[in-house]
Structure 1
Amino acid sequence: MAPTEFKNFPSQEELDRRKIVGINLETVTDVASTDFPGHWPGEDMSWSKKNFQKSFNVQFHHNTSYDSSFSLIGIDAAVANAFRRILIAEIPTLAIEYVFVNNNTSIIQDEVLAARLGLVPFKGGKAGLLKYLKWFKKPQEDGPEDEKFDHCYDYNTIVLHLNIECTRNEDAERGEKDPLKLYHNAHVYAKDIVFKPFGTQEKWFSGEDAIMPTNPDILIAKLRPGQCIDVEMHAIKGVGSDHAKYSPVATASYRLLPTITITKPILGKDAEKFKNCFPRGVIELEKVTKKESKMVGSGYDGHEGENKAVVKDAFNDTVSRECLRHAEFEGKVKLGRVRDHFIFSVESLGQWDSDEMFLEAVKTLKVKCAGLKKSLAGVQELA
């Protein structure tokens, strides 16, 4: 068979059009990607590392320790979703796994208290958590009871204590009704959990690097005089695929970049109404210039000084389709989303900085790809 010759070179406008997912009143069109070999006759759509390096781009919109937003431009949805799933389920964190109740006279049952403690996120020295702390091998459920925790060592287990009792405040004013003033330790917070280092943990987790809750004001229980909680806890390293308490993110999501194209002029009161169909700042009103009003057939002729609707910032649009419900805008606007522009939003719980987590997700995906490549090489050798 003679080699295929690729002669067709589409314009940039045509390439941009192919990337748009159409948003209609009740349907979504052009959902499937078309950038694969053989779809467009005469075009070479084979994957190229060089072309990928040219087209791929990362844009940061804002970045703080607990919250970051950035865009990945020029990748496939499968890769973007892989990053999202890794962020949720495969980045290791520290959480309480075992709770040993010495005494609990609060109104919260032991099992509920243990569950609440397990959901408290913890942080510590990053070098210690990444390099020193190893994975904990959980004991078999049906194994001997006295041997279940024989393999708890300083390099795989963090020991925490919570020993607190509620007492009356003798200095409270007469007639006071606020329990926080009437009693000592009326509320039990995450900051009341005490880290007890043992072995060589002091070297890795001390001072500012000590193990502590990411948010000290998480409410664990409410006590009244005579009630107390005395528990010992073992925290271990885990991932979100084992249990949601190990997930390092509050949310990790992405959305496609919205596009708004005004195909025919929207003027006067219609422009005001059109603006109100979108979130604030997406659509703005501008005056029709004298030059535009003299352009015959533009739709602006004879409307000098009137308000016209213009797209100011489509980034903040929520694609609610509200404008498509009104007859006066029919045929005047097209809504869409850019198929290869993913706007990520990552909210950290505090164990990792939000941007660090994404870099860790990239490392994890690289390890997975290397493993798959090695497995494929082994299959080829057997074949």
Structure 2
Amino acid sequence: MVLVKVIEKSNLYLKAVVDGVTPPVINSLRRVLISDVPVLAIDEVIILDNTSVLYDEVLAHRLSMMPIKTDLRKLPKIEECEQELVDPSLCQVRFELNVEAKEPMIVYSRDLKSDDPEVRPVYEDIPIVKLVPGQKIVLEAYAKLGRARNHAKWQAGLASYYYYPKVSVVGKADDKCRVCLEVCNGALEIKEDGSIIINDVLKCTFNKWKTCEQLCPALKVDWDENKYVFWVESFGNMPVEDMVREGFRILKGKFQEFVNELELELSRGPAPSGELVAGETTEESTQVTGEEFNTEEGPTEE
């Protein structure tokens, strides 16, 4: 049985204790959240006029790295966009930038005008370029739905985990143990008689607890291989709840795809004797001799 307890949550951050899963499963979720959850990012820029100090390529790169608000409920599934099962125009949003400086100014992300008012840069005060009087920029940009496995601009956020620390008190504290009060602030306290009281193990990470164990012989730190502290942080493209929900949907789809492929392979039955199946090679087929490449043996040492 899997148990999940949320210990900290905001619109962009989630921290939870996950109990009852193996490392491959929790790591699969981490990888999906980082590389597979789709967001909108500017992928194509048509520059009509650019007299600023930035080259067109640099300007396009700056635009592409700005996080953009993404509501996945109003967009097709990323699989449908990748497999071209829907109209490509449904998987993108058009932006326009048209500014001309009358006096020295800074062009900000808020100056980008979107065809969809709800699709806009996450932060309005991201500086793009400085302009002096007479300089101008006129361009069109298209934000497309994509995944971070293809480019970092499509990364929705970060995710990581560490083992849930199990801390035991096995003796009295000495002077070195007081360093742990700074390393793990609020996680433990030391009484005048040297006794140690663990207040909250989650106020200190597993690695910091291990540091305290090396400094303080009175502490013994262990871990549970099937219990973790898991955290997710959104870059602002979407609420962290939506990010996690989409991550689970994609991970479930990957598992289902694996099961389908496995069942298909099993339905074919074993390969006939003497025939190769996909991915197999024989020793004879992979062996390469020196004569085939006209190589000469070099000097050897005895």
Q: Same fold (TM over 0.5)?
A: yes
Deviations 1:67-107 (A, max 9, x none): 11112111011011100110111111111111111111111
Counterpart pick for 1:224 among 132, 150, 164: 132
The answer to whether structure 1 residue 266 and structure 2 residue 173 are counterparts is yes
- State the alpha-carbon separation in 1 of the partners of residues 268 and 188 from structure 2: 61
From 74, 96, 103, the equivalent of 1:161 is 96
Q: Which residue in the other structure is 2:145 paired with?
A: 237
Letter paired with 2:21: I
Please list every run of 5 or more consecutive structure 2 residues that lacks an aligned counterpart in the other structure.
270-302
Structure 2 CA distance for aligned equivalents of residues 160 and 152 of structure 1: 18
The range that moved more, 110-119 or 212-221, is: 212-221
Aligned mates of 1:99, 1:85 — CA distance in 2: 30
Tell me if structure 2 keeps the 8 A contact 1:134–1:155. Answer: no
Selected match of 1:246 from 132, 146, 154: 154
- Residues 110 and 137 of structure 1, relative CA distance in 2, 3 Å threshold: farther
Please tell me the residue identity of whatever aligns with 1:211.
Answer: V
Q: 2:237 is paired with a residue of what secondary structure? A: coil
Matched, 1:193 2:112: yes
Summarize the Cα distance change of 1:120–1:242 in structure 2 as closer, same or farther, 3 Å threshold: same
Aligned ranges 1:1-383 → 2 under 5 Å: 53=1, 56-130=2-76, 135=81, 154-168=89-103, 183=104, 186-196=105-115, 205=116, 210-249=118-157, 251-266=158-173, 269=175, 273-276=178-181, 278-286=183-191, 306-318=193-205, 319-320=207-208, 321-326=210-215, 329-330=216-217, 332-383=218-269
Q: What is the RMSD computed on CA atoms of the aligned residues?
A: 2.6
Please give the alpha-carbon distance, in whole angstroms, between the structure 2 residues aligned to 1:270 and 1:132: 54
Q: Deviations over 1:290-326 (max 9, x none)?
A: xxxxxxxxxxxxxxxx352221112122333444554
Q: 8 Å contact 1:136–1:157 — kept in the other structure?
A: no
**Cα gap change, 1:125/1:264 in structure 2, threshold over 3 Å: closer, same or farther?**
closer
How many angstroms apart in 2 are the aligned matches of 1:130 and 1:63?
28
Name the CA distance, whole Å, in 1 between partners of 2:22 and 2:79.
Answer: 35
Shift of 1:218: 1.4
Q: Do the aligned partners of residues 133 and 84 (structure 1) sit closer, same or farther apart at CA in structure 2, a change above 3 Å counting?
A: closer
Report the number of matched residues. 266
How far residue 265 of structure 1 moved from its aligned partner, in angstroms, is: 2.3
Query: Could you tell me whether the CA contact under 8 Å between 2:78 and 2:145 is conserved in 1?
Result: no
Larger radius of gyration, structure 1 or 2? 1
Q: Summarize deviations over 1:185-225 as a string: whole Å, max 9, x none.
A: x11111110013xxxxxxxx45xxx2211111112112222
Q: When the two structures are superposed, what TM-score results if normalisation uses the length of structure 2?
A: 0.80
Structure 1 Cα separation of the partners of residues 266 and 125 of structure 2: 56
Alpha-carbon distance between aligned partners in 1 of 2:222 and 2:64, rounded to the nearest angstrom: 43
1: CA distance, partners of 2:74 / 2:121: 16
SS at match of 2:223: strand
Give the secondary-structure state (helix, strand or coil) at the position aligned to 1:167. coil
Q: Which residue of 2 aligns with 1:302?
A: none
Give 2:203's aligned amino acid: N
Indicate the SS of the match to 1:111: helix
Partners of 2:180 and 2:212 within 8 A in 1: no
How many angstroms does 1:342 deviate by?
1.8
State the 1:137 CA deviation: 7.4
Question: Structure 1 351/74 Cα, relative in aligned 2: closer, same or farther at 3 Å?
Answer: same
Task: Give distance in 2, aligned partners of 1:236 and 1:264.
Answer: 59
Conserved 8 A contact 2:81-2:88:
no
Query: Structure 1 380/137 Cα, relative in aligned 2: closer, same or farther at 3 Å?
Result: closer
Q: Determine what percentage of the aligned residue pairs are the same residue.
A: 26
Cα distance in 1, alignment partners of residues 28 and 221 from structure 2:
27
Conserved in 2, the CA contact under 8 Å of 1:118 and 1:245? yes
Shift of 1:126: 4.1
